[in-house]
């Protein structure tokens, strides 16, 4: 009987170890991030403005840089007035030559708002203090009926 109780305790410990190990493996695999996770994280660390706020800022005459982070092909199909194009994949390499002043007010946008959130987060990490992302992106701008080039 004592032998059985001792073995029962060993089995309980083994089962507990297996469960703990499987929880660790699950947590490690679950720790991988999706694109949506990266966007959510970026949005938590940046400022987003509406298309109406972006249009008002552009129309105000205040100095503003409008940065389209879509592909060149998307940019050529149409873009916000006075926008410059730096595809998100090239942002870190080209932004300093196109926007050298890290104090400039920058409105970033993409097709729907995900890439621009990521780009704005990157700009902030690079020291651009006044970068914001336009929520809804190109789609929201078009839906609002605002002018394009």
Residues facing 47 on adjacent strands: none
Taking the whole predicted model, whether its pTM rises above 0.75 is answered as yes
pLDDT in tens, 56-74: 999 999 999 999 999 999 9
pLDDT in tens, 102-133: 999 999 999 999 999 999 999 999 999 999 99
| Residue 21 confidence (pLDDT) above 80 | no
The CA-atom distances, in angstroms, between 47 and each of 16, 116, 125, 127, 133 are: 46, 11, 13, 15, 6
Residues recognised as catalytic: 110
| Residue 24 confidence (pLDDT) above 60 | no
Contacts of 40 (CB under 8 A, 6+ apart): none
Q: Which residue has the higher pLDDT, 27 or 140?
A: 140
């Amino acid at each position: 009987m004592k032998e059985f109780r001792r073995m029962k305790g060993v089995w309980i410990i083994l089962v507990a170890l297996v469960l703990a190990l499987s929880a660790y493996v699950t947590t490690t695999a679950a720790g991988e991030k999706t694109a949506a996770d990266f966007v959510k994280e970026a949005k938590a660390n940046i400022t987003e403005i509406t298309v109406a706020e972006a249009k008002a800022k552009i129309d105000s005459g205040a100095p503003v840089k409008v940065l389209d982070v879509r592909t060149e092909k998307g940019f050529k199909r149409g873009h916000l007035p006075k926008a410059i194009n730096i595809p998100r994949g090239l942002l870190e390499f080209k932004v300093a030559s196109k926007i050298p002043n890290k104090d400039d007010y920058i409105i970033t946008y993409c097709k729907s708002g995900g890439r621009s959130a990521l780009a704005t987060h990157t700009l902030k990490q690079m020291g651009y203090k006044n970068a914001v992302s336009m929520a809804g992106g190109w789609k929201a701008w078009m839906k609002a009926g605002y002018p394009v080039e």
